[in-house]
């Protein structure tokens, strides 16, 4: 029987899994050696606090992306109206998904795209439908513009309650579906999303459906697939993606939406998407094409996640099934307490996520070395 490394970690005892992690780090496996991440030192921030509180990539951009950045620091940066590579990036994304250029809208991160969508499709008369907990930027904008908010608590398994969200969506302006979901890490299959979208649109034909796929590169394709076919078929459905996660470029600020040209134009008219700068554009273009690195990043993250989840479950704590670079742990105490105890050990974990702030805490996954240290702290704190 062929055992993959991922399967191997999953079936090993924790001690052995930890050994495998450190072994890979010190020797470097084939793919890891070809695409090395930063040294652990680069991840230790001011004051020596390990940052496991934001869902960034612990490893940053891949080597090809870093190389592209370095090689584009030259006199050409003096020209920027328009900056080189931005149109090229848009065209590369469009071509890769079989879309026209005007079906792709770039933003300085996906944040302005999320905000623009709320401004374009919600109003005091048209509600915003979301989950609790989920990524909250869109809800923040709905609050700002005075749109009614319908927030549906996740179910027992920490998955979005799509049925209740569909009920709440009747007559609303926009429904936000984060798949995979931040902070719970859970995913929904293509079939589940398709049923949801078709039901929502049949009941409210002029509603818009936003599928946030910021973490899709970390998900197992057997568990979820992109909703792109729905975007191609249904004008009121759009996707957003981010280069801040698996592509390791949170500090460079690039994201994009895929959707019907008229809808993207409405979002752009409603809000400023920012200007992608030349270095961010060449980095995103390189990262987008470097499929090998993303595959490596996803595998690396999955192994670290398996190790971390196993360690926490071994001491008797529940962790929601995650397909992302973060996990949502039932720490059976207020997140603030767990956070304070971890901070004493120089580890910063996630903020409160109502309505689970008294029981659950989100932990973003760091590098292998970081998670080995962190797991020892979590076990001590939880004991
Ligand atoms: C689900 C989700 N969507 C969007 C974003 C926004 O990220 P960015 O603006 O860096 O693309 C985040 C950031 O954490 C996120 O978790």
Q: How many CB atoms lie within 10 A of CB 269?
A: 10
Measure 166 CA to ligand 1 centroid, in angstroms: 23
Whole-prediction pTM value?
0.90
pLDDT of amino acid 21: 53
Contact between 185 and 135 (Cβ < 8 Å)? no
Ligand 1 center–CA 196 separation, angstroms: 23
Domains of the chain as residue ranges with CATH: 5-61+291-382 (3.90.1150.10), 66-289 (3.40.640.10)
pLDDT at 8: 33
Closest CA to 152 of 125, 115, 177, 171: 177
How far, in Å, is the centroid of ligand 1 from the Cα of 242?
A: 7
* Residues 99-114 pLDDT 10s: 999 999 999 999 999 9
Backbone angles phi, psi at 182, to 5 degrees: -105, 120
CA of 111 to the centre of ligand 1 (A): 6
Q: Write the pLDDT tens digit of every residue in 239-289.
A: 999 999 999 999 999 999 999 999 999 999 999 999 999 999 999 999 999
Q: What mean pLDDT comes out for the span 138-150?
A: 98
pLDDT per residue over 64-94, tens digit each? Answer: 999 999 999 999 999 999 899 999 999 999 9
pLDDT bin (cut points 50, 70, 90) of residue 48 is confident
Ligand 1 pocket residue status of 61, Cβ below 6 Å: no
- Nearest Cα neighbor of 309 from 257, 241, 379, 359 is 379
**How many angstroms does the Cα of residue 307 sit away from the middle of ligand 1?**
25
pLDDT band at 45 (very low <50, low <70, confident <90, very high): low
Ligand 1 atom closest to residue 135's alpha carbon, by position in its atom list: 1
Residue 18 has pLDDT above 70, yes or no: no
Q: For 302-361, how does the pLDDT look when each residue is reduced to its tens digit (9 = 90+)?
A: 999 999 999 999 999 999 999 999 999 999 999 999 999 999 999 999 999 999 999 999
DSSP string, 134-192: S--HHHHHHHHHT--EEEEE--TTS---HHHHHHHTTT-SEEEEESS-TTT-----HHH
pLDDT at 20: 43
Answer whether 182 contacts ligand 1 (Cβ < 6 A).
Answer: yes
Say yes or no: CB of residue 50 within 6 Å of ligand 1.
no
Average confidence (pLDDT) over 211-230: 97
Residue 212 Cβ inside 6 Å of ligand 1? The answer reads yes
CB 138 within 8 A of CB 113: no
- Cα dihedral 362, 17, 367, 189 in deg (nearest 10): -50
Using pLDDT thresholds of 50, 70 and 90, give the confidence band for residue 167.
very high
Residue 38 has pLDDT above 70, yes or no: no
Q: Which residue shows structure tokens 């995650």?
A: 322
The reply to whether ligand 1 has any atom less than 6 angstroms from the CB of 115 is no
pLDDT at residue 23 greater than cutoff 80: no
Q: Is 256 in the pocket of ligand 1 (CB under 6 A)?
A: no
* Ligand 1 contact via 236 beta carbon (within 6 Å): no
126 SS3 class: strand
Measured from the Cα of 134, ligand 1's closest atom is: 1
């Amino acid at each position: 029987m062929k055992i993959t490394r991922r399967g191997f970690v999953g079936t090993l005892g924790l001690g052995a899994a930890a050994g495998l992690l450190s072994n890979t780090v010190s020797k470097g496996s084939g793919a890891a050696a070809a695409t090395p991440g930063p040294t652990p030192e680069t991840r230790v921030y001011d004051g020596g606090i390990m940052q496991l509180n934001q869902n960034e990539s612990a490893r940053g951009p891949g080597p090809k992306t870093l190389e592209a950045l370095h090689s584009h620091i030259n006199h050409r940066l003096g020209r920027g109206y328009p900056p080189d590579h931005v149109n090229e990036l848009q065209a590369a994304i469009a071509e890769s998904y079989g879309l026209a250029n005007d079906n792709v809208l770039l933003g300085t991160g996906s944040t302005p795209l999320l905000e623009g969508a709320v401004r374009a499709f919600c109003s005091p008369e048209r509600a915003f439908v979301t989950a609790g907990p989920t990524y909250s930027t869109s809800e923040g904008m709905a609050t700002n513009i005075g749109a009614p908010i319908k927030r549906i608590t996740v179910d027992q398994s920490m998955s979005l309650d799509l049925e209740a969200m569909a009920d709440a969506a009747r007559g609303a302006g926009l429904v936000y579906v984060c798949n995979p979901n931040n902070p719970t890490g859970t995913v929904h299959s293509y079939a589940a999303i398709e049923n949801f979208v078709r039901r929502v649109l049949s009941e409210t034909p002029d509603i818009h459906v936003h599928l946030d796929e910021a973490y899709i590169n970390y998900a197992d394709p057997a568990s979820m697939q992109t909703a792109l076919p729905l975007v191609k078929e249904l004008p009121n459905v759009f996707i957003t993606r981010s280069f801040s996660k698996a592509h390791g470029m949170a500090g460079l600020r690039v994201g994009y939406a895929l959707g019907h040209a008229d809808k993207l134009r409405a979002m752009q008219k409603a809000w400023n998407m920012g200007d992608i700068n030349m270095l961010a554009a060449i980095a995103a273009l390189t990262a987008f094409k470097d499929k090998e690195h993303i595959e490596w990043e996803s595998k690396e993250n999955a192994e670290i996640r398996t190790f971390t989840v196993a360690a926490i479950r071994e001491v008797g704590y529940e962790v929601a099934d995650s397909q992302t670079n973060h996990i949502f742990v039932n720490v059976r105490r207020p997140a603030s307490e767990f956070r304070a105890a971890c901070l004493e050990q120089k580890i910063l974990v996630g903020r409160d996520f109502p309505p689970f702030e008294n029981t659950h805490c989100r932990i973003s996954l760091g590098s292998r070395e970081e998670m080995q240290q962190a797991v020892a702290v979590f076990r001590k704190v939880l004991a």
